[in-house]
Chains A and B, each alone.
Chain A
Amino acid sequence: MDDGFAEYVAHRHLRLCRMAYLLARDWGTAEDLVQTALAKAWLAWRRIEGNPDPYVYRIIVNTHASWWRRRWRGEVPAATLPETADPRDPAGEVEGQAALWKAIGALSPRQRAVIVLHYFEGRTLAQVAEIVGCSLGAVKSQLSRALTRLRVDPDIQTMTLEEVQR
């Protein structure tokens, strides 16, 4: 049973690993996530028509969420980020990047998935909603909360594009 599965794996494996790494923040776990997702996709391959990416992404996101909850059950992320140095200071800017990376790690699995799919994979919010299995409104809400927690100011132009696409 192949039907393009081998080509898909060869073509997409690295990209899937990168996306999974941003979710899991560990290369070993990311590769394991991707292998699990691809194994599940292999089982359903003949029933997948069109682009398999959404199906594979969905498995990665859901599997990561379940592993994450298992590992971090009970943890309550902080509502605020620690203050960093003066942003005009180059060293402070580096610290700011580190703080942003750390803050991404403190997001819930679902919020992190929305951030990664939208900003790293370049998926529209409607596509993100399909992948994570919830409504467009719920994705917008998750994105808004995540950006607030990350202290990222939404780009008005991007939001307008989303509105047009919707």
Chain B
Amino acid sequence: MRHTESDLRELLNEHGHERAGREPSAHLDAIVRRGRRMRRTRRAVTAGTALACAAVAAVGVTGLLPAGPHRAEGTAVARRPVDSAQVTPGPELDDTMRVVLGTKKFDLHLIHSQRFETVGGVQKVTFTPTSVYTGEKVICEDPRAWVVVEHRGRGGEPTGGTGRCGDGVGGHGDELSVPSGWLKRPQYLQVWVFPADAPVREVAEAVNGCRPAVKGEDCDETAQSVALMNPEVRRRLSAIVGGRPGRWAIGVYDRPAPGTSVSTGPVPDNGPTVATERPADGASTPAG
């Protein structure tokens, strides 16, 4: 059965006005509390270089810093046309990562971050997990850049994910998904970031024909994403585009180690999934 755009509008309007038994209500105080908590956490986790940048911004040297959430409030920014987003999102890592596992929702906190200035090569990122809920996220100056993250699976086999930068996150969701000895020693990820215009399709077709997921379809984004799992495709791409300038960063998120969590106050009345813990002091690694 086919539909019209009017059908689509009507359906969205119908569902958009559904009720879940009560009217969603705005709790300004809860929003502001959450905002303050975010600001506290950001200040706590942006130790080292990031903290230094924030501190410099706070004393007013604003022209030298990129716009982003770590800038102090009230700093001047260039005017932009009305009806456009005013804060340019640079490659700034969030201080928390939201996890939704069925009905369980919780936040992980940034425990390690590294920054890079070039794309096209492989980078090894070493960190020390503090729980079995470790997650990672890569952010890029160009959100269309290709990203491949590889880590050890439960049996030690290489596993991970590929896709456009910012589209997704990865990590472990419970004790069953982490490799043995996960909490006993430092772990590492290998990350490749390729420019958005890297010839993924051409290289994939040259290596294995770039097999699309659906027979008869083109070598689309999904097929190219799958092709990036092939080490030979990555190797050839690195040879072609390696060393190009391009800023990106990776953040590793985790729960605080047992016994180091610090309560930051009561949970807001209507905030069912706010963070109530902060990372252990000194747990975050200065940006590289």
Interface residues in chain A, defined as those with a beta carbon under 8 Å from any beta carbon in chain B: 1, 5-6, 9-10, 13-14, 17-19, 21-22, 27-32, 34-36, 38-40, 42-44, 46-51, 53-55, 58, 62-63, 65-67, 69-71, 73, 76, 79, 84-85, 87, 92, 96-97, 99-101, 104, 110, 115-116, 119-120, 127, 130-131, 133-134, 138, 150-155, 158
Contact = CB atoms under 8 A, between A and B. Distances in A.
Nearest to A27: B20
Given A92-B1, A120-B9, A152-B8, A51 B273 contact: no
A134 B143 contact: yes
Contact of B3 (A62, A66, A153): A153
A21 B166 CA distance: 22
A1 B214 CA distance: 53
Nearest to A35: B31
Nearest to A145: B220
**Chain A binding surface, main DSSP class:** helix
Contact of A49 (B31, B79, B166, B213): B79
Contacts, number: 190
A55 B85 contact: yes
A29 B24 CA distance: 11
A17 B24 contact: yes
Given A66-B98, A71-B101, A101-B11, A43 B1 contact: no
A50 B18 CA distance: 30
Contacts of B213: 76, 79
Contacts of A1: 73
B16 A19 contact: yes
Nearest to B5: A155
B98 A63 contact: yes
Given A6-B28, A27-B20, A40-B38, A116 B5 contact: no
B3 A96 contact: yes
Nearest to A157: B5
Contact of A62 (B26, B32, B79, B166): B166
A30 B24 contact: yes
B199 interface: no
Contacts of A66: 97-98, 137, 168-169
A21 B12 CA distance: 10
